[in-house]
Structure 1
């Protein structure tokens, strides 16, 4: 369930131009593969830091040497580098929650041991609390992405180089209606999203200063813009809505076999098809275009939930994985989650995620919002009850129960732990909040 990224190697393949009708058919067939939920995946991103002094920036040379070492470490998960040097592990599709947990845990142990020998470690945070964006990877994809995202302000560079997340991947669900049906799971992913944002918010700082948001990472996605990071409307059939969204989303780049890639401004994929300029788009261009869209829920055959901040602690990522798996794959818990979040839908004002009031409140206030707190408590309690039915071990169930007690039941999230030593600096935080937008 990893995010395959090509830097132009497939530009000579699939040379035949695609039509709008072909794009709609391809998107419908590829992005929503339905059937009984059987597999689960997770993508965990980490900031890499110096063990002896975490606030000291890691030089590009040290990062390159560390990644060279990691390439020799046998892993079951796919290991990739993010533009700012963040490390990402993408699990293979797992047949159960515990298979996913055990696989990624073993891979992370191996990665940490290899990094420790080089004096490096991993930090789980939704946004780097100390360092400014600094791009480590110099590849055509990221050159083009930087040019494209710079047009909407500095949020894109922060997203590329200083953010990290826990992305949970669940199957799209049954074709038939019901708690595990495709349309129900698509709706639930978007309505449960703000609850997950609030419960796992862990990015309140930039440059050591409060931003005024508990999930600054979510704020950055909102500032990138609806065309690149927004969701389609939820009031229509998911396949049709996503196909239209893909066609009407702006093209990030036109790849070339040699030389820098072209970065058009304001050109949608639909307009590219109709104009055929600078060259007609192909199936390979469509496949690539979809990887440049970053909605909070991305259909890729499965559903990729992208709204969860990276979590603190070596095993912090297990809690959002387990909670999400329980609420999607256990029928009783899925029904409870659906009933719980349904009243929250009124606060979206029928605006697409994440640019509606509910998502904004979740990112800014976290579980300080009473309705989000109440919903989170109900969802976590349902997850704790469901996990044994999914074969979760006591270690996983107890971790979720402990998180419920430490954070959710108290209306807190990991961001509060980072802010506690800085309480009383709200005025400085408000000033920094303005700096992000300028």
Structure 2
């Protein structure tokens, strides 16, 4: 039985005000990190430009619409059995949502992105194992961030990913251990970590810990399921491509092997997140990994009998950007240079 929430759906467990000990907080974070399940269900959340984000959550046909910031709304879909169902449901909900928020003028807000939710995997490190999926998601993350860079500014091809430039590719420790360490050390809205609060004698309540966990937006998050948050906003219906690529590379057994072979060595690369944000696919190491991964993903979708329109969209993106060492951000930079 599927046990995850809709992407971005607030928890209800944090209504109580029980104050925690440091050990209890760590145990609670570890317990909620993963709900082991085999690959299969796929979810997505797509940010959309909004002149008037909704004041409260609005139910759509399958998921819901909510405000993310003053200029961005988010459409979050339910976990769906398989990629095609996920994309079809998201397409319906996006069509319903866009007239409700009225796209603003000017460039898309730099914080807008696309998040993909996939099952955590089974306990252990086998082909469908949590350990393997956690590791692959992390080594794959900067490759996908580079390929889908689309928020240029200040010398970056992805200003959105620039905030992650100091991150390691693969965090230390087993999945639960790594997530607990990240969640306890990440600063909250006041700039203090949860661990620092305990050391200062200002222990958070369970509700405050819930809010802290909900606010975290690492490239790979543990939400019971895996949340992959690496793709910038894409024009038109381009949101389908990062969802399909991530799902294919993590959920198809052969594609996962191919992606592991293409990205495992990246865990030893220095400054990779900064390179992904600044140089994107002009970086030869990231470009080579992206080519192998996109080809593997296309092959997986062809084996699965994915709709022709989806395969064509991925083939077009691969030809236009990945094989040429370009990203959507380069189109924006080229237009800006031509107008200068």
- TM-score, normalised relative to structure 2: 0.89
1:400 maps to which of 291, 314, 321: 314
The aligned residue for residue 178 of structure 2 is: 241
Contact map agreement 1:233 1:241 (CA 8 A) in 2: no
275 and 368 in structure 1: CA distance in 2 versus 1, 3 angstrom threshold? closer
Tell me the SS of whatever aligns to 1:88. strand
1:113, distance to aligned residue in structure 2 (A): 4.4
Moved over 6 A (4+): none
In structure 2, distance between residues paired with 1:14 and 1:108: 34
- Which of 75, 85, 102 aligns to 2:71? It is 85
Q: CA offsets, 1:272-296, max 9 Å, x none?
A: 335543xx43222221121222221
Contact preservation (8 Å) 1:215, 1:415: yes
Aligned mate of 1:416, from 300, 313, 330: 330
What is aligned with 1:343? 265
Write the deviation string for residues 388-424 of structure 1: whole angstroms up to 9, x where unpaired. 3445211111111111111111111111111112337
- 37-46 or 239-248, which deviates more: 239-248
Mapped to 1, the partners of 2:68 and 2:230 lie a distance apart of 17
| Gaps in structure 2 of 5+ consecutive residues | 1-5
Q: 1:188 to 1:70 in 2, by over 3 A?
A: closer
Q: Does residue 1:190 correspond to 2:138, yes or no? A: yes
CA–CA separation in structure 1 for the residues paired with 2:22 and 2:55: 43
Per-residue deviation, 1:41: 0.8
CA pair 272-113 structure 1, distance change in 2 beyond 3 A: closer
Q: Contact 2:110/2:159 (CA < 8 Å) preserved in 1?
A: no
Are 1:180 and 1:328, in contact at CA under 8 Å, matched by a contact in 2?
A: no
Change (3 A) 1:70 1:24: closer
TM-aligned CA deviation for residue 108 of structure 1: 1.3
- Partners of 1:387 and 1:233 lie apart in 2 by 27
Residue 121 of structure 1 aligns to a residue whose secondary structure is coil
Return the match for 1:95 from 75, 81, 85.
Answer: 81
Residues 140 and 263, structure 2, Cα contact 8 Å, conserved in 1: yes
Question: What is the DSSP-based 3-state SS (H/G/I as helix, E as strand, rest coil) of the residue aligned with 1:419?
Answer: helix
Equivalent of residue 29 in structure 1, options 16, 19, 31: 31
Counterpart among 207, 223, 241 of residue 319 in structure 1: 241
Tell whether 2:159 aligns with 1:216. Answer: yes
Aligned mates of 2:56, 2:196 — CA distance in 1: 45
Which consecutive unaligned segments of at least 5 residues does structure 1 have?
49-57, 131-160, 206-210, 253-262, 349-356, 429-438
Check the 8 A contact 2:120/2:130 in 1, yes or no.
Answer: yes
What's the CA shift for 1:93?
0.6
Larger radius of gyration: 1
Counterpart mapping for 1:124-163 below 5 A: 129=107, 162-163=110-111
Contact 2:138 2:169 (8 Å CA) reproduced: no
Structure 2 CA distance for partners of 1:420 and 1:249, relative to 1, 3 Å? closer
Q: 2:103 aligns to what SS in structure 1?
A: strand
CA RMSD of aligned residues (A): 2.7
| Structure 1 residue 94: Cα displacement | 0.8
Find the aligned partners of 2:169 and 2:161 in 1 and give their Cα distance: 17
Give distance in 1, aligned partners of 2:168 and 2:183. Answer: 10
Residue 31 (structure 1) shift: 1.0
- Separation in 2, partners of 1:215, 1:419: 12
What are the Cα deviations for residues 170-200 of structure 1, in whole angstroms up to 9, with x where unaligned?
1111213223211111111111111101111
- Does residue 289 (structure 1) correspond to residue 212 (structure 2)? The answer is yes
CA–CA separation in structure 2 for the residues paired with 1:379 and 1:30: 30
Q: Residue 115 of structure 2 aligns with which residue? A: 167
The alignment partner of 1:235 has SS state of: coil
Instruction: Give the alignment's TM-score, normalised by structure 1.
Output: 0.70
CA distance in 1 between partners of 2:47 and 2:248 (Å): 22
Per the alignment, residue 224 of structure 2 pairs with 301
Query: How many residues in Structure 1 have an aligned counterpart in Structure 2?
Result: 335
User: 1:232–1:192: structure 2 CA closer, same or farther, 3 Å change rule?
Assistant: closer
CA–CA separation in structure 1 for the residues paired with 2:96 and 2:260 = 38
